[in-house]
Amino acid sequence: MIYMGSEEKMKKTIWRRRVLMTVALTLFLLSLSACGRFAQEKNAAASQAAVEAVAESEAAPEEQTKEPETMEPEKEEIQVAGTDKTTVTVVSDHGVRVVPDTAEIMFGVQTMAASAKKAQEDNAGDVNNVIAKLKEMGVEEKDIRTTGYDMYPRYDNNGQRIIGYTMYTNLAVSNQSIDKAGEIVSGCVEAGVNQMNGITYTYSGYNEAYAEALGNATKAASVKAEAIASAAGRKIGAIESISEGYQNTSLRNSYQDLNMLAAKEEAAMDSVAILPGEVDVRATVTVTYVLE
């Protein structure tokens, strides 16, 4: 009984599958038929559209012969890249000769004594006499300054025994007219100065002279650049860059040694001859020109 029931069940399953396959096949055939009709309808519509297009072309032949409009291409703006600039660089140096008009006088007072105390007292007395003499000659106190102060022992020839002491005081008198410098030197020597350290000359119009030198150097630079450009068959154009060179500010001053012996010999005269000569104020510029 178990076997018979299973066989009947299997037959029913096979029958159901056959029914389902038949239904699926039928549906597939129906869909193919519908697609065929749709394609026929599309072909008919396309044919009708073609016929209408031919009729329109025959009705308006002039439109067929009309040249189609052409669009003009957009104009492009052409930018020409700038060529590399050719330049020439020159260095120019120029000087202006001036006569210094101001002096700073540097001198000292040296005293020697057996004891340090005595050396100090004598030195202070001589220095006070010099300062009093300077004021008597019209030198203002603000223009007098102490620049050095020293004392050291003196030894015998064997270097073993102290035989005395030497003391120095150095002074500087600044902002004095060149015309008055000789008088000051002579007066100080009479008052007790026995060490002359030199004179520094300055020019009160240094800045103006330097500006003039800069202008002259710049003008000279254009002459040099023009000569170079002309030799190359070109001309100088605009200045691309310009710079100031190193300024030697030491040229603000001109130093001169004074011989102490000569100063003593001339002290009996009205004044020592002070001749500053000339100071060369120089300026340097570097200029770059564009060549045309």
pLDDT value, residue 178: 87
pLDDT 10s digits, 7-26: 677 777 777 777 677 766 76
- Strands of the sheet containing 195-202, edge to edge, are 144-155, 162-177, 102-113, 195-202, 253-256
Q: Are 243 and 147 within 8 A, CB to CB?
A: no
Structure confidence at residue 5 as a pLDDT band (50, 70, 90): low
CA distance 251 to 14: 127
pLDDT 10s digits, 49-96: 544 544 554 444 444 444 545 545 444 343 334 456 899 999 999 999
CA distance 151 to 149: 7
pLDDT value, residue 38: 52
Distances in Å between the Cα of 185 and the Cα atoms of 168, 176, 289 are 18, 11, 53
33-37, 122-126, 216-220, 266-270 — which is least confidently predicted?
266-270
Stated pTM of the model = 0.55
pLDDT 10s digits, 134-151: 999 999 999 999 999 999
Structure confidence at residue 44 as a pLDDT band (50, 70, 90): low
**In the predicted model, is pLDDT for residue 103 greater than 80?**
yes
**In the predicted model, is pLDDT for residue 261 greater than 50?**
no
